[in-house]
Structure 1
Amino acid sequence: MLRKPSDKDLEKYFQDIEEILREQHGMTFKFINEEGRFVHTYCAGQLMSKMGLEERDVIGKELKDFLPAGKAAAKERHYVKAWEGNEGVTYEGESKGIYYLASLRPIRRDGKVIEVIASCVDITERKKAEQELERTKKLLESIIDDSADGICIIDTGGNVIRVNHSFEMLYGWSENELIGRQLPIVPPEMEDEFKSITQEIQGDMLAKTFETVRRNKAGELVHVSITLSPIKNGYGEIIALTGITRDISERIKSEEFFRKADKLNVVGQLAAGLAHEIRNPLTSLKGFLQLMKESDKRRVEHCEIMLSEVDRMNSIINELLIFSKPQPKVLKRNDIGTLLYSVINLLEAQATMNGVQVYIEIHGDLPPICCSEVDIKQVFVNVLKNAIEATPNGGKIQIVAFEQLNELIIRIKDEGVGIPTDNLHRLGEPFYTTKEQGTGLGLMMCYKIIHDHKGNLSIRSALNQGTTVDIKLPVTE
């Protein structure tokens, strides 16, 4: 049989409960209603001391006795609800930087509420985390809203979640017009490319930056640089993509201006050499015509020589016109040897005038490259012309073309004055040049053109030891 607890046992039991309540991290309190006044009858727990309160400050007192009037009135409304018998009354409170959550429960006897008991838990850390999260959220919102770049967030299905004001200004659609819709900015012919890029990002979970064109609401194409980045949840799963768009139309215009300026500069420098080159066959033609006029006879071998000289002049002039006139940017398969020989033909006169011999070596049957013929010729002209000008006392220039690791490498090596090692890192900067009358635009455009063709241009040089330029271009699949 169970032994009936003695008074001593009960006293020990209640002491233990009291000790537990006093040592709890939170706080427990009770109150009653005395003629409309809510008077606290009990209060215990470590949360009291954190808020700077003691039992004597609370027990027998109303809220207004130990809290500011405003806070006391706000909490008393919850007291009223609990005293009226409402279950699950909760509220958050704060005192001296300590935040807590209070839950009130009415205690009934014979169906009537006789007192209300409340338990409180310390939520200071959670509150601080929420506040920090809110500050971070506001900071991110400010960055997005105030960014000069257009920002768009889409879900994994491609539907718009959010766009900022700069995005609206760039493309012309408002956020309300875009939310929940597929992005209308991708031109139809580029949809497959965009899907491929988004799938690639979702696959490797890495950001990707690329330059392309997009369509605004007016139907106009805009040159843009886009950085697409994945947004992940706590499990590392991609739940959305964010795109940061920058309008590069002005930069594209500047690059095109520099490219045209460089072409005009090169054409002007080539003019003197071409005049000399064309004067030689003209002299031959004049001599044969005078001979035919004086003898009144026409010899077949003379006619063949004259036709050959006319063809040579026509070839040189055609190359110069193709190089100087604006051409549409068309990518097609080209033979690297053919491009190199046409450029050498164009610069042969300048090389001869400088006492420079140009040797070319094509290793094997090289595969074609997909490129803009005019742009790649512009690169070869600039590099070869630089090599000729860097060899003022005559010498050799070697051009070697070969395939390596699915790339075509065109190596142009001269025996010229070279470039100081300290200056190599500045090559390609606009308006930086080592030549007295140079502009620095030529090499800058060479870097840009090769980069656009997904290739690489590197330069090795030493003072008085010559220069080697390696141009690497991907082989056409």
Structure 2
Amino acid sequence: MTDIKKTREWEVFEYIVGAQMACILIFFVSFSLGKGFSVSFSHSLALITGTIGVVAAFLYRFLERLLNQKKILYIKVAYVMFPILITAFVLLQVPHGPYGKQVAILLPVIVAATVLGKNGGLFIAFLGSAFLTWSSVFFDRKPLIQALEQNLILISVTFLMGWFIGSITNLEAESRKRLQENLDELQGEIERRKFAEEQTFKLSRIVEQSPASIVLTDTDGNIEFVNPQFTRVTGYASEDITGFNISRLGSEPAEFYEQIYEEVREGKEWSGELLIKKKNSDSFWEHTYFTPFKNAAGMTTNFLKISEDITEKKGLQLEMARLDRLNLVGEMAAAIGHEVRNPMTTVRGFLQLLGKKELYSTDKEYFTLMMDELDRANSIITEFLSLAKNKAIEKKMHNLNSIIRSIAPLLQADATKSDYNVVFELAEIPDMSLDEKEIKQIIFNLVRNGIEAMEHRGTITIKTYRDAGEVVLAVQDQGKGIPDDILSKIGTPFYTTKETGTGLGLAVCYSIAERHNSRIEFKTSPDGTQFFVRFKGSCEAD
């Protein structure tokens, strides 16, 4: 657009220069054919005047670009006055030349019409005609009527030139004005579109870089667009998921999603927590917002789903709830443990005493069974007490590898009896502040659970290593893995899948880990389960 504007300005500039050169030609003809001056003087004057005209034309071009409209008007008046003065000079100095006054009178009209337009051209034509008539009356001593008749043709030509050239000038000015308005409007439209494109680009970048998953569906829940974060979280690329109904990703039935769709179609919003399946069949929790996506007319044309992965947050909530249950059970055990243990110890002592008497020799196996059950109840109470959050422990600087090596023979013996194998992969790790008895307990419990998870021969692998500034104890089995429906119940007191289990083994492990400012994680698959106890790598005793 700028090139068009410059081209148009150059055309106007050429038009003005052409008019100025026409004026110079008129000067030259007037001075050459006039009788009042010598030929050399006429040529010199024409050359000087021509030079002034060219300089004035370029000066007009320069000033028109720099000055405001009011000052430009003054410049135009000056351009008109210059040929008028020259014309007066010619008429006064060459009053009897056959061409001088007739030709010179057209000069200011042409310039005025070119610069000021039709009104200016007609006005100067009137002044020139009046001046021409006055000069005939004054110099030629002719009556007014005769002077008008003598110069009628020249006067008519003068007014015709003023009207014609002025009309062309007005037409060109109007066209130039409309062109400028169109160019300004076009420039404004370009700026508006450029701004809209910038806003659209920013919006698209916001969607692409958003930390939340964004999904756009039709009003039936069929996916039309997903942002990169959705792909990173779920594993589904845009081309893989487009056209799928979003209910296929959820764990809830299709009827549940249809209720959500119905609410959003009515213009309402829906928010809640959903369990979503990834492309690799893993599941994760997300907090989801469904909101209607409306067009300019206010009609709902799509659904907008914005969600955030809250799996870690959900896990922390479940962990806090589980720890609260552990602490509650531990506090209850601490409160009643001694009260139950004392009578149990008394009963066991009398059973042991009576079992040695000859009178009850035939019932000895029953006495043994009762004492075994009392011992089992006592071990359960011991586990109860291990769940107490405020249980007194004695921490010292130990190396986890040393503790594992000290109980390795016991672990291997226990595994060998069940035809299993224990493998140790111990890396170099720093010393930590640990309670040796409790760490042994957590290792025994995890290994025992691993052995019981394997139906046939297999290997238990015990590892230690450092990871991201933490010391990790890992116990891996080769069982069938943990079923999905009980994953959330791992570590819950009294929950067990074993016929003879108490459901306290893993609960005790979680309590011990908490007292050591560590955490327990696990990974499970059909090839086995691996538990991780992650200790912070502190080397200072508490």
TM over 0.5: no
TM-score between the two structures when normalised by the length of structure 1: 0.37
What's the TM-score once normalised by structure 2's chain length? 0.33
More strand by share: 1
**As a proportion of its length, which structure holds more helix?**
2
Q: Compare CA radii of gyration and give the structure with the larger one.
A: 2
